[in-house]
Structure 1
Amino acid sequence: MDSKRDNNKDHGDTAFERITAVQLKSHTGEFNLESILFLKFRGLGIHDLGCIGECINLERLDLSGNNITNLAPLSSLRLLVVLNLSANRISNLEPLGSCDSLQSLNVAGNAIASIENFHYLQSLRKLENIRLKDNTYNYTNPVCRNTPYRNILLEMFHNIKVLDGERVVGRGSELYQLCRDIDDTIKAGLYKNGQLPDHSDCKPWVEDSFWEIKRSNNNAIIEEAYKQFSDVLHECRLLNNRATHMISQTERSLSLKKQPKQYAV
């Protein structure tokens, strides 16, 4: 996990253990802490959240890849909508129970051992996106070893739409559902007329560089959107690699079945 924290560290940021007002102002360019709406302190070795609770109008906060254990300073952030706490050392979520506006919470890669933690968050009526696992970065929590945790969370939070990055309400976007259908079909080993089509001559729809994202400026919202879209593309590439591997295995299996049996004389 430490290596991932280093990889997530934003260029130009200096590691520090405790968040101070001076650091908040210099990092955002804002003169007043109450003017800060978006904040990203990723991979900086932070232990103490310090005075971050004074940013009472904060709407989006990314503290991923640090060493945070105590979330008490976040209890005053009642306007917080998106909170990323992945890859820290958090075991207690109780302080987040007063973040009334929270819609998206990422705590993948922490030390949450009991589902009881989420009872503190049941009053958050707007909470619709919870992430305890992130397979892209191999982040998880001890509670995830308990297989029914997903069903329990779905019963606890009736407004939840996305759990661990997977839509649980509605069909979701057409692209997402298409990927799920393709993945399910491959897993089931379905093929037409007992044969899989030959895709050896297939060419990519677009050039390799087509999906590369060009950053236009340093706007914080655009940077966050860039990161999220990059993560989605990474997951799509992983799905593509897995599908290609499974297709190859199935084709090999079919090829072996077609070979005539040889009998010893």
Structure 2
Amino acid sequence: NENIVENQKDFVFMKFSGLHLKSMENLQSCISLRVCIFSNNFITDIHPLQSCIKLIKLDLHGNQIKNLPDTKFWSGFKNLKLLYLHDNGFSKLKNICVLSACPNLIALTMFDCPVSLKKGYRHVLVNSIWPLKALDYHVISDEEIIQNWHLPERFKTCNHRLFFNFCPALRKKKMKYSED
């Protein structure tokens, strides 16, 4: 068992999708982890990730997460660029804004969460998480950043020209279902 824990510190990629996992407790020793995919499980608490500060990509979509850790937790993730949180139970914009402490987060998914239905959802996130370049499959437009600024149609929020597929495997799966 000691050898397993010792080897875990060297893991750089971990994928446990659709395995009905409820806990991420064993990740505490994975200090070299760069890509972590724990999608489609039953996870509610992501605090065990706190020691995984080398993460670049974190995919937690399709879980039962309702709250995110505070800004102190997120400020430790200096390398995190891609964060997939869609299809979870987030309902408060205030709770999502803690991601502003993540200094290099450039792409985030929050669609299919109750919070994504709130008025001003994109505007609030775009103006809270400054490094963000894409939210829910769309590049962030200048119109979203500057309130009451109206641009030509091709630059408008969520225009098809601003579509950016930064999680292709998810998009293909979604498209496949929509074709049936």
Please indicate the TM-score interval, normalised by the length of the shorter structure: 0.7 to 0.9
2: CA distance, partners of 1:114 / 1:21: 41
Which one has a larger percent helix, Structure 1 or Structure 2? 1
Secondary structure of 1:51's match?
Answer: helix
Unaligned runs of 5+ in 2: 143-154
TM-score by length of 2: 0.75
Pick closer, same or farther for the CA change 1:33–1:237 going to 2, 3 Å.
closer
- Structure 2 distance, partners of 1:91, 1:141, is 9
Q: What amino acid does structure 2 have at the position aligned with 1:78? A: I
CA contact (8 A) 1:105 1:130 kept: yes
Q: Deviations over 1:35-65 (max 9, x none)?
A: 1000000011111112212101100000000
Higher relative contact order (CA 8 A, sep 6+): 2
Partner in structure 2 of residue 83 of structure 1: 58
Whole-angstrom CA distance in 1 between matches of 2:16 and 2:176: 27
Whether 1:129 aligns to 2:104 is: no
The share of aligned pairs that are identical, in percent, is 24
Structure having the higher Rg: 1
In 2, Cα distance between equivalents of 1:33 and 1:238? 36
- Distance between the aligned counterparts of 2:21 and 2:173, measured in 1? 27
Map 1:88-103; keep pairs closer than 5 Å.
88-94=63-69, 96-97=73-74, 98-103=76-81
Query: Which of 34, 48, 53 is the aligned partner of 1:73?
Result: 48
Partner of 1:147: 119
State the alpha-carbon separation in 2 of the partners of residues 115 and 180 from structure 1.
25
CA distance in 2, matches of 1:169, 1:149: 14
One-letter code aligned to 2:29? E
- Say yes or no: does 1:158 pair with 2:130: yes
The TM-score with structure 1 as length reference comes to: 0.53
3-state SS of the aligned residue for 2:87?
Answer: coil
Distance 1:21 1:92 in 2: 33
Give 2:47's aligned amino acid: A
Alignment of 1:1-265 (within 5 A): 32-94=7-69, 96-97=73-74, 98-133=76-111, 140-168=112-140, 180=160, 228-233=167-172
Cα distance change, pair 236–57 in 1 and its aligned pair in 2 (3 A)? same
Whether contact under 8 Å (1:21, 1:33) holds in the other structure is no
Q: Superposition RMSD on alpha carbons, in Å?
A: 2.9
* Local SS of the residue matching 1:61: strand
Secondary structure in structure 2 of the residue aligned to 1:32:
helix
